[in-house]
Structure 1
Amino acid sequence: MDENAKRGEWLTGTVTSIHPSSDGVVRRVTVKTPRSILTRPVVKLCFIAAGPQN
């Protein structure tokens, strides 16, 4: 993943699990993308609300 990518080039995915630290704060998550499954720090994510599901 390129941290300097433009907004239209961002990789999108779905958070599938959270990983709380020893103090109970979620700092890492597992994200499923169309091509892979990644573990990313929460501070590197940008929340995009999903539309209504049919």
Structure 2
Amino acid sequence: MKLLKCFAFVYFAISWARGIPGQFKIYKEDKSLKNLFLLLGRLIMAITAMIVAAAIYL
């Protein structure tokens, strides 16, 4: 069961990380605070999901 939860969080991290390049492109075109927060939110959620996956596995 732990391994299944770990894979679920890894899947979430990969899905959030896949959206980062597109969000970065949007941020480069229009450097607004809203776009920066959306980009940072995706980065933080991807990193957090990987940390949680490692914590569940250990």
TM-score (normalizing by structure 1): 0.28
Greater fraction helix: 2
Larger radius of gyration: 2
Whose RCO is larger (CA < 8 A, sep 6+)?
Answer: 2
- Taking structure 2 as the reference length, the TM-score comes to 0.27
